[in-house]
Amino acid sequence: MAGFVSFVSSGPGDPELLTVKAVDRLKKADAILFDDLSAGPILSHAKAGADLVAVGKRAQRPSPKQQAVSRLLLDFAQTGGHIVRLKSGDGGVFGRLEEELVALRSADIAYEIIPGVSSACAAAAAAGIPLTRRLTARRIQFITGHDNNGQLPEDINLSALADPGATTIVFMGKRTFSQLQKQLEQHGLPPNTPALLAEAVSTPQQTLTRTTIKALAEQLEGDISTSPALILYGPLAEGAGG
C-alpha cells in the first residue's frame, strides 16, 4: 500500500521558525527528503532510524534534476509509511512544489501541504521593516531572478517591476540583477531606489546590505557570494533599520 507524503516547509533556516505542525511531521516521518537549505539543526527533529535523503538544488552547483527528485519521492512513497518532503522557505514560493504534486497525483498517492515562513517575510523582519507601507508600498511582488537556463527571464513584466509604489522581492537574482537593474532604469525606476540584499537569512551567517539598486547592481557585477540571497527594492527598503 502506498504511503502518505507531507510537504513540509521549513522556513528560511532558523529551526525556531518551524511551525508546530512541521515539527510534528518531522518527528513522525519514516523518510525525509530534504532541500539543501533545510539541513542542519532542522533535521534534529527526525526520529531515530528515519531515512534522511538530500535532494536539494542550488544555482551554479551540481544538483539533482527535478525529474529525478520526483521519481525518488514516488519510490519512497510507494513503499508505504510516512514520507516528508522538506522544502526550504515556503515550498509554494519558487519551490518546485507543483512538479512533485503532479507526480503524486498521477500515482494516486495522498499528500498534505504544510506552509512555512517565507524567506521574504524573514528578510523583512530581520531588517526591521514591514513588507507593505500605507500610501507608498501598497503592493508586493515576488519574482524569480533566473529562468531554467540560469538567465534573466525574457518575458518578465518590466513595467510592473519598475512600479515605484510596489515592494519587489527577487529570489535567486544575484547573478542577473545587474541586467535587471539596467532594464528597470530604462522603464523609469530611479537608480537611487532603495534596495536591501539579504543573505543567509535567519542563520548565523546572515548579512543585510542596505544600498540602492544601482549600487547593488555594480557590486554584484564583480562580487557574488555563494550564500542564498534575496533582493528587496522599492519604497519599503528606505526604512530598513536594525
Q: How many domains are there within the chain?
A: 2
Indicate whether 164 and 197 sit together in one domain. yes
CATH number at residue 109: 3.40.1010.10
Indicate whether 102 and 128 sit together in one domain. no
Indicate whether 53 and 26 sit together in one domain. yes
- Which of 63, 79, 114 finishes a domain? 114
pLDDT tens-digit series, residues 109-153 = 999 999 999 999 999 999 999 999 888 888 999 999 988 788 899
Indicate whether 130 and 60 sit together in one domain. no
Has residue 242 got a pLDDT over 50?
Answer: no
Indicate whether 30 and 110 sit together in one domain. yes
Res 22: pLDDT: 98
Res 56: pLDDT: 79
Has residue 59 got a pLDDT over 80?
Answer: no
Indicate whether 108 and 129 sit together in one domain. no
- Which of 82, 114, 146 finishes a domain? 114
Has residue 241 got a pLDDT over 50?
Answer: no
**Catalytic residue list:** 35, 57, 172
> DSSP letters of 30-92?
SEEEE-GGG-GGGGGGSPTT-EEEE----TTS----HHHHHHHHHHHHTT-SEEEEEESB-TT
Indicate whether 143 and 217 sit together in one domain. yes
- Which of 114, 149, 183 finishes a domain? 114
Indicate whether 57 and 124 sit together in one domain. no
Indicate whether 125 and 97 sit together in one domain. no
Domain hosting 45: range is: 4-114
Residue 181: strand, helix, or coil: helix
Res 147: pLDDT: 84
pLDDT tens-digit series, residues 71-93 = 999 999 999 999 999 999 999 99
Task: State the chain's mean pLDDT as an integer.
Answer: 92
Is the distance from CB of 55 to CB of 91 less than 8 angstroms? no
Instruction: Name the residue among 212, 209, 207 with its Cα closest to residue 185.
Output: 212
Q: CA 28 to CA 38: how far, in whole Å? A: 17
Dump strand ranges (E) for the chain: 4-9, 31-34, 51-54, 82-87, 110-114, 139-144, 166-171, 194-199, 207-212, 229-233
Indicate whether 36 and 106 sit together in one domain. yes
pTM above 0.85? Answer: yes
Indicate whether 125 and 231 sit together in one domain. yes
Indicate whether 231 and 126 sit together in one domain. yes
CATH number at residue 128: 3.30.950.10
More confident residue, 241 or 165: 165
